[in-house]
Every structure is written in structure tokens, then in C-alpha cells.
């Protein structure tokens, strides 16, 4: 299947600092990217949906000024956690969806391996 | 709103045992249903899917049938292998957005 990478795989930061997480589609063009958050023993919760070149659409309850999402190209989306606090510690997962064709099915999402964020 | 409930884990089985992971959903209309698998250190991968009632999704020996009457999509495999050890997520979608269950960790011992 199509490959999605995330960087870094884990990060530790101090409270009050900002952290940027990158999500890349390595072998296809991602028209839509999704950012999820996963708490221990909980399901993945969709945070926002982003389309290349336009503003992200945030789910209810997600602070858009705290979780800045940029989808500047068809292969890269970034999530920046601004002024991070310990309650932002979590596992962040991105996924990407491309145009149907070849090995990519309509509306199929391809997931990155996730980024573990720990805020001290 | 839409939701997915799957059986609590962890599940531990011996090799060649029969596997069932229960999944039920709550949704209006006719969502598509999915099972994703997450191997250690990797991203979620689509295992199988079904898009309408009575459809059976299958892949790598795993099967699940879309049961509208019981709003269920239980995952089954007749004979598990050590390599099947992973976390399994049931999910539904209408359109682009996915709604996930909490995941069930499966460990298969030799």
C-alpha cells in the first residue's frame, strides 16, 4: 500500500514550548490529510481534516489556535502544538488520502506510525 | 452521534486457535465498516472492509460480515498465527471521516 511517515516518532518538551510534527506521504499525492489523537487504551479521536492549500477543518472541541495545522503541499502536512502543557501529552497520528487510482482506493486512508509527545 | 464499541482486550490465544473480536456500531443510515490492524511500531493498516449490509470483507484469513440487523461487524479467523499479534481497530465511516473503536490487543503464543 501507500506509505506515510511521521517525524519525529517521539518528542519530549518543556511546558510552554511549541512542538512541530511532520506527516509525509512518500509515494503518492495526498489531497487530504487527517490528524488524530490517541489516549492510552482509548480510540483514535479525529482532531482535524486538512486539504492541500486550504485551511484545516477542526472537530468540535479542538482548539485551532493551539493545534496549528498546515498542509502546504501534496506530500506534507504539519501539526504544531503551541505552548504545550502536560495535558497535551498524547500519541498523535496522521493519515493521508489520495486520488483513487492504481493501488489507492476511493476514500481509503493511509496511516503514519504516530508520534509520542510528552510535555514535562 | 456515531460510535463503535469493540470487545475489551487484551486477548491471548495459542497458535491455531479460533479468533473472534466483537464489534458493534451505532450510526444512522448505512455506514461503511472497517477493520484496521496495527503491528508494533507501525501505522494502522486496512485489514478488510464492507460497504453494505450482508457484505463480507476478507483478507489474510480474516473475515467480517456487515450485519445490519444486529449492527455488528465481528472479526474472525479460523487459525491464528504468532504473526497476527497486533492491535485491531474496528471503525465506521460515512464519507471521509472515520470513527474508531478503542482497539483490541491480540497476543498469539506459539
Q: What is the pLDDT of residues B65-101, one digit of tens each?
A: 999 999 999 999 999 999 999 999 999 998 888 999 9
pLDDT for A60: 93
Res A1: pLDDT = 63
- Note the pLDDT of residue B30: 87
DSSP chain B: --EEEE--S-EEEETT--EEE-EEEE-SS--EEEEEEE-TTS--EEEEEE-STT-EEEETTEEEE-BTTTTB--EEESS--GGG-EEEEEEEEETTEEEE---EEEEEE-
Q: Is the pLDDT of residue A103 over 70?
A: no
Q: A103 phi and psi, to 5 degrees?
A: -90, 0
Give me the pLDDT at residue B85, please: 97
Q: What's residue A46's pLDDT?
A: 94
pLDDT tens, B5-18? 998 889 999 999 99
Q: What percent of chain B has pLDDT over 70?
A: 100
Distance CA B31, CA B23 (A): 14
- All residues at 6 or more sequence positions from B104 whose CB lies less than 8 Å from its CB, including other chains: B6, B7, B8, B9, B10, B11, B21, B87, B88, B89
Among the listed residues B106, B94, B104, B110, the one whose alpha carbon sits nearest the alpha carbon of residue B8: B104
Distance separating alpha carbons of residues A92 and A108, to the nearest angstrom: 19
CA A22 – CA A69 distance, rounded (Å)? 10
Predicted local distance difference test score (pLDDT) of residue A66: 96
Check if B43 contacts A (Cβ < 8 Å). Answer: yes
Cβ A28 vs Cβ A98: under 8 Å? yes
Nearest-angstrom CA–CA distance, A29 and A38: 25
Which of these ranges, A15-19, A39-43, B32-36, has the smallest mean pLDDT? Answer: A39-43
Do the chains contact at B96 and A32, CB–CB below 8 Å?
A: yes
Residues 6+ apart with CB under 8 A from A14: A119, A120
User: Which of A26-40, A96-110, B24-38 is predicted least confidently?
Assistant: A96-110
Q: What is the pLDDT of residue A106?
A: 66
**Closest Cβ opposite residue A43 in set B41, B42, B101:** B101
Collapse the DSSP code of A37 into the 3-class scheme (helix H, G, I; strand E, B; otherwise coil) and give the result.
strand
pLDDT-derived band at A2 (thresholds 50, 70, 90) equals confident
Q: What is the C-alpha to C-alpha distance for residues A14 and B84, in angstroms, rounded to an integer?
A: 38
**Which residues in chain B have Cβ-Cβ distances shorter than 8 Å to A51?**
none
- Which pLDDT belongs to residue A101? 63
Helices H, strands E: what count in chain A?
Answer: 0, 11
- Do A89 and A83 meet the contact criterion of CB atoms below 8 Å apart? no
Residues of A in contact with B100 (CB under 8 A): 43-44
Amino acid at each position: 500500500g501507500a506509505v506515510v511517515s511521521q517525524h519525529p516518532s517521539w518528542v519530549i518538551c518543556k511546558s510552554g514550548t511549541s512542538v512541530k510534527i511532520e506527516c509525509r506521504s512518500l509515494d503518492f499525492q495526498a489531497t487530504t490529510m487527517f490528524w488524530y489523537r490517541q489516549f492510552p487504551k482509548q480510540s483514535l479521536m479525529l482532531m482535524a481534516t486538512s486539504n492541500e492549500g486550504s485551511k484545516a477543518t477542526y472537530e468540535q472541541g479542538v482548539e485551532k489556535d493551539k493545534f496549528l495545522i498546515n498542509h502546504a503541499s501534496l506530500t506534507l502536512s504539519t501539526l504544531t502544538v503551541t505552548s504545550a502543557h502536560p495535558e497535551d501529552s498524547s500519541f498523535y497520528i496522521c493519515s493521508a488520502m489520495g486520488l483513487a487510482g492504481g493501488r489507492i482506493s476511493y476514500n481509503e486512508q493511509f496511516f503514519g506510525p504516530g508520534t509520542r509527545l510528552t510535555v514535562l | 452521534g456515531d460510535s463503535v464499541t469493540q470487545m475489551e482486550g487484551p486477548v491471548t490465544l495459542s497458535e491455531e486457535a479460533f479468533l473472534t473480536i466483537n464489534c458493534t456500531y451505532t450510526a444512522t443510515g448505512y455506514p461503511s465498516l472497517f477493520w484496521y490492524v496495527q503491528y508494533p511500531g507501525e501505522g494502522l493498516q486496512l485489514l478488510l472492509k464492507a460497504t453494505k449490509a450482508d457484505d463480507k470483507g476478507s483478507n489474510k484469513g480474516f473475515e467480517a460480515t456487515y450485519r445490519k440487523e444486529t449492527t455488528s461487524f465481528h472479526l474472525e479467523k479460523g487459525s491464528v498465527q504468532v504473526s497476527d499479534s497486533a492491535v485491531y481497530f474496528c471503525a465506521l465511516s460515512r464519507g471521509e471521516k472515520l470513527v474508531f473503536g478503542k482497539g483490541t490487543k491480540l497476543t498469539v503464543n506459539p
